[in-house]
Chain A
Amino acid sequence: DAKTTQPPSMDCAEGRAANLPCNHSTISGNEYVYWYRQIHSQGPQYIIHGLKNNETNEMASLIITEDRKSSTLILPHATLRDTAVYYCIVRAPLNTGTASKLTFGTGTRLQVTL
């Protein structure tokens, strides 16, 4: 699985959009981009994933650049409860025969403030 690079920390005011970047310049054509978040002392929670099109769900939006070398997770109206560590991961589909063991880096620690 390709490696990702994220800033170690970011701040965001409550009610504003939080834009979390991720670089994955070595991503392969069949690798998906996944985002998870981990609130302190809990298991990571799935947020969203995508291949090349932008994706949106009830939690967030995912913008993937045309060359797929980077992406941005957008929390449109951040709340205090969104304070967490956000992990960006890339991986191939399960049916490719790879082990699909994901590598979690240190992520971005998002602090939402009043």
Chain B
Amino acid sequence: DGGITQSPKYLFRKEGQNVTLSCEQNLNHDAMYWYRQDPGQGLRLIYYSQIVNDFQKGDIAEGYSVSREKKESFPLTVTSAQKNPTAFYLCASLTGDGYTFGSGTRLTVV
């Protein structure tokens, strides 16, 4: 089935370590997005990419980095500069009919 795969579902890291969250899609969508969600809050946009080898900062990009070397893949790196990295991270892709979301990665930094 076509869709977006995020892995892993749960991730634990020690404070000060960088960590990369995977997002893969087989929907042939050009635009991809990373959102962060904190408990009881809406989704906040971290980074987005409308085409391969191009990406733009969203509303809360500080402490994060991305790459878009392939259409199918849009990995997110949470760096040690991100002050509050513990959150639920959602990847999405977009066509004219709307967003398709992955199932999310819950990152806990201890």
The answer to whether A44 and B90 touch across the interface, beta carbons within 8 angstroms, is yes
B-side interface residues, number (CB < 8 Å): 28
The answer to whether A100 and B31 touch across the interface, beta carbons within 8 angstroms, is yes
- Please report which residues of chain A, range 7-64, place their CB below 8 angstroms from some CB of chain B when the two chains form the complex: 34, 36, 41-46, 49
From known contacts A49-B98, A94-B95, A99-B50, infer whether A104 and B106 are also in contact, taking CB-CB under 8 Å: no
Q: Confirm or deny: B53 has a beta carbon within 8 angstroms of a beta carbon on chain A.
A: no
Q: Confirm or deny: B58 has a beta carbon within 8 angstroms of a beta carbon on chain A.
A: yes
Q: What DSSP secondary structure best describes chain B's contact surface?
A: strand
The answer to whether A100 and B103 touch across the interface, beta carbons within 8 angstroms, is no
A-side interface residues, number (CB < 8 Å): 22
User: B51 to nearest A CB, angstroms?
Assistant: 12
Cα distance, A34 to B94, chains bound together (Å)? 13
The closest CB in chain B to the CB of A8 belongs to B40
Cα distance, A41 to B43, chains bound together (Å)? 12
The answer to whether B99 and A44 touch across the interface, beta carbons within 8 angstroms, is yes
Q: Confirm or deny: A81 has a beta carbon within 8 angstroms of a beta carbon on chain B.
A: no
The answer to whether A43 and B58 touch across the interface, beta carbons within 8 angstroms, is no
From known contacts A49-B98, A94-B95, infer whether A101 and B103 are also in contact, taking CB-CB under 8 Å: no
Cα distance, A46 to B93, chains bound together (Å)? 12
The answer to whether B101 and A106 touch across the interface, beta carbons within 8 angstroms, is no
Contacts of A101 in B (CB 8 A): 33, 45, 48, 58
Interchain CB contact (< 8 A) of B90 among A43, A87, A95, A105: A43
Cα distance, A93 to B98, chains bound together (Å)? 10
Q: Confirm or deny: B96 has a beta carbon within 8 angstroms of a beta carbon on chain A.
A: yes
User: A85 to nearest B CB, angstroms?
Assistant: 9
Contacts of B100 in A (CB 8 A): 46
The answer to whether A46 and B96 touch across the interface, beta carbons within 8 angstroms, is no
The answer to whether A42 and B31 touch across the interface, beta carbons within 8 angstroms, is no
From known contacts A43-B102, A44-B90, infer whether A93 and B96 are also in contact, taking CB-CB under 8 Å: yes
